[in-house]
Structure 1
Amino acid sequence: MTQPGPSVSLRPVDAGSWRAVAGLTIVPGQDAYVAAATHYLALCAYEDVWKPLAVHDEQGAVVGFLMWGIDDEDGSCWLGGVIVDAAHQGRGVGRAALVQALTTLQPRDDAAGFALAYHPQNTAAKGLYASLGFFETGETDDDEVVARRRPA
């Protein structure tokens, strides 16, 4: 019997949660694929693209992070900077956070759907994203592979 995934909520990063987000850690070796949470927070603060979301567990603790933004060119909703704290990895938190994002966030143009990018050697991310309906498009963003998910 399959265990249900964890229950998470996505909340805007604010004065009460930014320190917990900045303190998120990743498993050694993941730094080849993802940046530190502080890097993503700086992108959100200083670029007019990304909006930061803290991933909270059922008790309200910050266990992860993701950011999102709308592409001005095609209206798609981009997801990025997905981090699950090292102590909470392997429990379905990342999947739950992405499902929550896909459920609550909306592309500007409904036909545009969702998009994200990941390092081509990050097979764990590739598998997770593919299981959620993302497919590689042949596009690249810097050194990352772009995957998109069509609207349901």
Structure 2
Amino acid sequence: MSTKNVKIVELNEENWYDCCQLEISKEQKEYIEPNAISIVQSKFELTLKPYAIYSGEKVVGFLMYNSVPEELDGYWVYRIMVDKELQGKGIGKAATKLMISEMEKLPNVKKIIVGYNPGNLGAHHLYANLGFVDNGDRFGKEMAVIKYINE
């Protein structure tokens, strides 16, 4: 599958329900909230920016990040997922690169941070391949990895 047609689109009335219908694998259920929870969260925490991930014209994933700095003086990625039927095809990596490009436009961004359970090997490989580093930061059961943005 080509990842040239991967794009991210802000969540809207046309794609939110498709995002709610996406599923993760059984192995990932303990690591990530359902997309519907994330979408509701974004309606109460207005600095969160939810996006649908498309491959061509089809919604295949969901991501969300915060548009204000938080812990560790960085901007946090809250969610990123690709439907279980399309995982392992490079869509998540392509969408994460697009998300990073969007986040780099935020004011004074020096760090992009994502937290994930150390047992989530898929997340570990994705973020390591994209230049996120583990400085030993931990938040409860999650480890936080950081991508430093050059000014």
Cα separation, partners in 2 of 1:73 and 1:130, compared to 1, 3 Å: closer
CA RMSD of aligned residues (A): 1.8
Return closer, same or farther for 1:48/1:142 CA change in 2, 3 Å cut-off: farther
Letter in 2 for 1:109: N
Q: Following the alignment from structure 1 to structure 2, what is the Cα–Cα distance between the partners of residues 75 and 105?
A: 14
What TM-score do you get using the length of structure 1 for normalisation?
Answer: 0.88
| 1:49–1:142 CA distance, 2 compared to 1 (3 A) | farther
Q: Following TM superposition, by how much is the alpha carbon of 1:50 offset from its aligned partner in structure 2, in angstroms?
A: 1.4
Q: Distance in 1 between matches of 2:32 and 2:16?
A: 18
Corresponding residue for residue 7 of structure 1: 5
1:134/1:147 contact within 8 Å kept = yes
More deviation in 125-134 or 67-76?
67-76
Q: Residues 80-122 of structure 1, C-alpha deviation per residue, up to 9 Å, x if partnerless? A: 2111011111111100100111123224213x22111101111
TM-score of the pair, normalised by structure 2: 0.89
Query: Percent identity over the alignment?
Result: 26
The 4+ residue runs of structure 1 with deviation greater than 6 A are none
- Following superposition, the deviation at residue 74 of structure 1 comes to 6.2
Asked if residue 63 in structure 1 is aligned to residue 60 in structure 2, the reply is yes
- Name which of 65, 72, 75 aligns with 1:77: 75
Q: Which residue of 2 aligns with 1:109?
A: 108
Partner of 2:116: 118
* Contact kept? 2:61, 2:83, Cα under 8 Å: yes
- The residue identity in structure 1 corresponding to 2:86 is H
Contact conserved, 2:70 with 2:76, CA < 8 A, in 1?
no
**Is 1:86 the equivalent of 2:84?**
yes
* Cα deviation code 1:47-69 (max 9, x no counterpart): 233110110111x2110000011
CA 1:48–1:140: 2 relative to 1, 3 Å: farther
Distance 2:120 2:4 in 1: 23
Aligned residues: 148
Structure 2 unmatched ranges of 5 or more: none
Q: CA deviation at 1:7?
A: 2.6
After TM superposition, the structure 1 stretch with the greater mean CA deviation from structure 2, 95-104 or 136-145, is: 136-145
> Where does residue 145 of structure 1 map in the other structure?
143
Contact 1:77–1:108 at 8 Å: present in 2 too? no
Distance 2:136 2:88 in 1: 29
